[in-house]
């Protein structure tokens, strides 16, 4: 029974962490997506200026409903499955850092399966330019349209699944591998609560930033696959490897890192926020087991 209660605490804490993170960082996610999908913006500053000028402040919150709906199951899945994979993989012959990294990768792939449809809808909404937030089609209407015109499966509502798995798996592998390996070197809270908190924030920021650098080529490929195509009615980006190769061939290696700055600005602090909220909520809930 305690195992069930502990799992429930992990799910609740993970969901809380995700909800806080997405509400704080959504504007940067919109900017990142728009930079990754080739458009009229020359850089981050240009994207922010054009979005605010043409769509107002609420333009930075386009596509927020799908991540809000997905964040609780997504982050709950991330943290819960990480703990379960970590337990399953713990073995005297497997180095601890490798255990953390592999468990993180598997947890990322698991959450990727859950969030792929939400990511598709979010990308489509974020890609709509010069449309006011209040005039944009609802998430439900967009889901119905995707299913009606593209169907189910990996060519429909699950389009971009392999890129999502690669993106989330890589991010979680670096994030959890680094954080949990280095966590033992943080000063204990009982010795200095302030130093412990600052160290955890810094480590979460570092882990989130490095994970973002590691996975952004897959993120760019995912945005191209799931987003509107350059020529309407003609699909240019199909699979992960095909998209990566095509982007590199036509635009160079730098294009695989489009949107890196807003991504790091979002997921660096976001990574710290998630871990701090998760650990504090989880610690609080465990008192009642």
* The pLDDT value given to residue 63: 85
* The pLDDT value given to residue 40: 59
Calculate the dihedral angle through the C-alpha atoms of 192, 194, 196, 197, rounding to the nearest 10 degrees. Answer: 160
Calculate the dihedral angle through the C-alpha atoms of 181, 187, 189, 191, rounding to the nearest 10 degrees. Answer: 150
Q: How many domains does the chain have?
A: 1
* The pLDDT value given to residue 192: 77
Query: In this structure, what CATH number is given to the domain that contains residue 90?
Result: 1.50.40.10
* Pair 150, 226: CB distance under 8 Å: no
* The pLDDT value given to residue 38: 63
* The pLDDT value given to residue 281: 87
* The pLDDT value given to residue 169: 97
- Please list the alpha-helical segments (H only) found in 128-155: 139-150
Strand partners, 234: 231
* The pLDDT value given to residue 75: 74
Rounded CA Rg of the chain: 19
Q: What is the pTM of this model?
A: 0.82
Helix (H) or strand (E) holding 274, with range, is helix 260-286
| pLDDT tens profile 155-166 | 999 999 999 999
Neighbours of 133 (CB within 10 A): 16
Helix (H) or strand (E) holding 173, with range, is helix 161-182
| Residues of the chain below pLDDT 50 | 1
Locate 96 and state its tokens: 């601890």
* The pLDDT value given to residue 144: 94
Q: Which residues span the domain enclosing 99? A: 2-286
């Amino acid at each position: 029974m305690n195992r069930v209660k502990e799992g429930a605490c992990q799910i609740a804490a993970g969901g809380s962490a995700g909800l806080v993170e997405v509400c704080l960082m959504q504007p940067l996610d919109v900017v990142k997506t728009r930079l990754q999908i080739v458009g009229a913006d020359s850089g981050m500053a240009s994207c922010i200026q054009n979005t605010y000028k043409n769509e107002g402040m609420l333009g930075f919150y386009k596509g927020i409903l799908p991540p809000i709906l997905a964040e609780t199951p997504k982050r709950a899945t991330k943290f819960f499955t990480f703990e379960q994979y970590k337990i399953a993989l713990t073995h005297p012959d497997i180095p601890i850092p490798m255990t953390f990294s592999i468990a993180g990768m598997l947890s990322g792939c698991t959450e990727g399966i859950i969030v792929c449809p939400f990511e598709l809808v979010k990308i489509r909404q974020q890609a709509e330019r010069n449309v006011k937030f209040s005039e944009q089609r609802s998430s439900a209407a967009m889901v119905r349209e995707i299913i009606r015109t593209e169907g189910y499966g990996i060519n429909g509502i699950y389009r971009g699944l392999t890129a999502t798995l690669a993106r989330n798996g890589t991010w979680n592998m670096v994030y959890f591998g680094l954080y949990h390996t280095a966590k033992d070197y943080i000063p204990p809270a009982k010795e200095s609560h302030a130093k412990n908190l600052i160290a955890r924030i810094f480590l979460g920021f570092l882990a989130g930033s490095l994970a973002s650098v590691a996975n952004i080529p897959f993120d760019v490929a995912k945005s191209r696959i799931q987003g509107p195509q350059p020529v309407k009615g003609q699909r240019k980006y199909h699979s992960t490897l095909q998209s990566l190769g095509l982007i590199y061939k036509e635009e160079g290696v730098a294009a695989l890192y489009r949107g890196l700055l807003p991504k790091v600005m979002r997921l660096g602090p976001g990574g710290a926020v998630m871990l701090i909220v998760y650990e504090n909520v989880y610690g609080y809930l465990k008192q009642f087991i």
